[in-house]
Amino acid sequence: MTTNSPLTPDMKLIDPPSLPTGPPVGGDNAPGPPVGADGAPGPPSGDDEALKMFLVRPTADPLSGAFDRKFVIHAGLASKPTPPEEIQAAYERLLESRPDRGLGLYVHIPFCRSQCLYCGFGGPRPEPAVAAAYVEALLAELEWLKDKAAAAGPVRVIYLGGGTPTSLAPDLLGRLMDSVGKNLDLANDCEITLEGRLHDFTPEKTSGFLAAGFNRFSIGVQSFDTRIRQSLGRLSPRATVVEYLENLISRQKAAVIIDLIYGLPGQSPDDFIDDLKQAEALGLDGLDAYQLNIFKGGQLAGAIESGRLTEAAPLSAQGEYYRRAGEYLLGRRWRQLSLSHFALSARERNLYNPWAKRRGDCLALGAGAGGFFSGWSFYRRPRVEAYLEACRRGLFLPDALSPPAPNGRLVSFIVEQMEQGYLNHRRLTEDFMADPAPLRLLLENWAENGLMIMDDEWATMTMTGRFWGVNLTQAVIETASRNMKENQQ
């Protein structure tokens, strides 16, 4: 499927992977624009290009053109990465602390049977010997972790992402989950997600996945439309997709959610609404509606450039897909749990992605995995062979480790809320900000342009605001970080 590590949780089809900490905001933590004499927000100073960049473009229809691009969410203020020779000692010290609000566990399974046109996260084929060795390495890492204070748990969310985790044989996944259960303390209501491709959910493999203990399946369908699927190289027609999902849903032993993409080549907004109707008719527990992102130099970009595929919907048209989708689903009493995620049943909780986005304590295993713990970020390079070799040598270490960013608490506060479509701006300004005026100016600009609804405590995104949610989030992070109270740094 698509990458779902804590570093790039479910913005996966919107944003390219980013490292745990991004480049500094403007190079430092400079103060923001002045406040007017009466305490009202002053205008942005002429040279405050950063703030202007986040104001809605004046002549635009906000849904199609509030901004000229989508931003990538990053913390802005980078902490100094730990020098490679100090990573081992620093990581082991870090694992001596206990998790704060429970623990998450992310396991990266990098293998893919084939490379999908629209995806920038594909990995190597799961050759049986390599796949078995990979699971052995994960077991060894779990064994190594079990006595660390950081592993104390309780583990509240587990996510197997990739790559294609379902490309592994169920007995390998069963061994992995046995070890997770033996070595970690799982919360009774732990959400345990297995990400995968539909064709791996044969009746026999599904029984194996359920026996392994997964209670939530996340499946990349992308589109039900046979014509669109086949143009993207997904050869099974709608009827086959529906049959697989019906069989899976009929088990009633786990939540079933799917990914859908809007803005695909040859797909109209009506086609996307048809996909949503199909999802609803199936009785799925939830779905993600992801915006298509075309990776420069990727296969999809090449297919469009060569004329093999028609143009995909440009950014200026994608908002219409999102607005119509949101209105359709909410009108049908789906619940919107995040900017991209909608739930139909009460069974669906969608715990992992918000956990990762707020940088909750999360151990991360496997090549290409990354996580956060006590505000520290860590990351392992996605090279399978290097991971296997390191594990053989007993080196269960990240390749990169960074202490908490100066604005780490602030970022968690903002992202956790904005991901759900709202912001308690009063608490943000009272608790974190020395100068609230620039933030107020932004929020008022967005409210005037239909992106937010404001009262004196909350700012709540409209559907237009949710479409631009990553931009609004990054704008709030940067603006609040520039104006942070000294004691919050």
Give me the residues that bind ligand SF4 (CB under 6 A), please.
Answer: 1-2, 112, 115-116, 119, 121-122, 162-164, 197, 220
Closer by beta carbon to ligand SF4, 198 or else 443: 198
Residue 313: CB minimum distance to ligand SF4, A = 19
The residue among 205, 197, 212 whose CA lies nearest residue 165 is 197
Strand partners, 449: none
Bridge-based pairing state of the strands 255-262 and 286-291: parallel
Closer by beta carbon to ligand SF4, 1 or else 186: 1
d(CA 376, CA 409): 11
Closer by beta carbon to ligand SF4, 54 or else 209: 209
Closer by beta carbon to ligand SF4, 13 or else 142: 13
Residue 119: CB minimum distance to ligand SF4, A = 3
Counted residue by residue, the chain has a size of 489
Residue 234: CB minimum distance to ligand SF4, A = 9
Closer by beta carbon to ligand SF4, 87 or else 221: 221
Amino acid, single-letter form, for residue 276: L
Closer by beta carbon to ligand SF4, 118 or else 376: 118
- Answer whether the bond into residue 154 is a cis peptide, omega within 30°: yes
Q: Between the CA of residue 260 and those of 46, 328, 348, what are the distances in Å?
A: 42, 15, 17
Task: Please say whether the beta carbons of 293 and 283 come within 8 A.
Answer: no
Residue 287: CB minimum distance to ligand SF4, A = 16
Read off the DSSP letter of residue 259.
Answer: E
Q: What are phi and psi of 425, to 5 degrees?
A: -70, -25
Amino acid, single-letter form, for residue 212: A
Which contiguous run of DSSP H or E holds residue 288?
strand 286-291
Residue 368: CB minimum distance to ligand SF4, A = 11
d(CA 146, CA 135): 16
Read off the DSSP letter of residue 102.
Answer: -
The residue among 356, 41, 12 whose CA lies nearest residue 163 is 12
3-class DSSP assignment, residue 110: coil
Closer by beta carbon to ligand SF4, 164 or else 464: 164
Residue 370: CB minimum distance to ligand SF4, A = 16
Residue 422: CB minimum distance to ligand SF4, A = 31
Residue 232: CB minimum distance to ligand SF4, A = 10
> Which two three-digit tokens encode residue 235?
């050869």
What secondary structure does DSSP assign to 445-484, as a single string? HHHHTTSEEE-SSEEEE-HHHHHTHHHHHHHHHHHHHHTB
Residue 122: CB minimum distance to ligand SF4, A = 3
Closer by beta carbon to ligand SF4, 108 or else 358: 108
Which contiguous run of DSSP H or E holds residue 379?
strand 376-379
Closer by beta carbon to ligand SF4, 2 or else 8: 2
Q: What are phi and psi of 44, to 5 degrees?
A: -65, 140
